[in-house]
Structure 1
Amino acid sequence: MKQLTRSRNNRKLAGVIGGISEKFNINANLARVIFVIALIPTGFFPLVLIYLLLIFVLPNEV
C-alpha cells in the first residue's frame, strides 16, 4: 500500500492535495475543487489549519 506523501509532480502549492489524490487514486483537480468548495461552509479556518499542518507533517515523495 502506498504511503501518504506530498506530491512532487502534481502540486499547485505544497503538493498536499496532489499527494492525497495519488494515494486514493482520484483526479487531483476534482480534489482541489472539493477542497475549495468545502472551505466556504467551514469558514476557512479548520481546513486551512489542517492543510498547513499537513505541509509540515507529510514527507515529500521520494
Structure 2
Amino acid sequence: MNKKLYRSKQNKTIAGVCGGLAEHLGWDADKLRIGYVVLSVLSAAFPGLLVYLVLWFVIPENPAQV
C-alpha cells in the first residue's frame, strides 16, 4: 500500500481535507465529515477547526484529479 495522501478536488465541501482522508482510507466521505464534526463539537480537548486548518495547508491538493 503506497498511496499518498492528497486533498480531494472532486469530493470536497470546503478544502477537500475530509474527502482526501476518506479516499485514502477507503471510507465514505460523508460519514467521515459527520464523525469529525461530532468529535469536534463534543470534545473540548479536540480543537477541530485548528486541526482542519493545519491539514488544509499541510496536505497537498491531488494533481491527478481534474
- TM-score, structure 2 as length reference: 0.86
User: Which residue in the other structure is 2:54 paired with?
Assistant: 53
Q: CA deviation at 1:45?
A: 6.4
Look up the SS of the partner of 1:13 in the other structure: coil
| % identity of equivalent residues | 37
Q: Which residue identity does 1:15 align to in structure 2? A: G
Larger Cα-atom Rg: 2
- The 4+ residue runs of structure 1 with deviation greater than 3 A are none
Q: CA deviation at 1:44?
A: 8.4
Q: CA deviation at 1:43?
A: 3.5
Structure in which a larger fraction of residues adopt helix: 1
Conserved 8 A contact 2:11-2:20: yes
Aligned residues: 62
What CA distance in whole angstroms lies between the structure 2 residues aligned with 1:12 and 1:34?
Answer: 15
- TM-score, structure 1 as length reference: 0.91
For structure 2, which runs of at least 5 residues remain unmatched after alignment? none
Instruction: Say what the alpha-carbon RMSD is for the aligned residues.
Output: 1.5
Alignment of 1:11-30 (within 5 A): 11-30=12-31
Q: CA deviation at 1:47?
A: 1.4
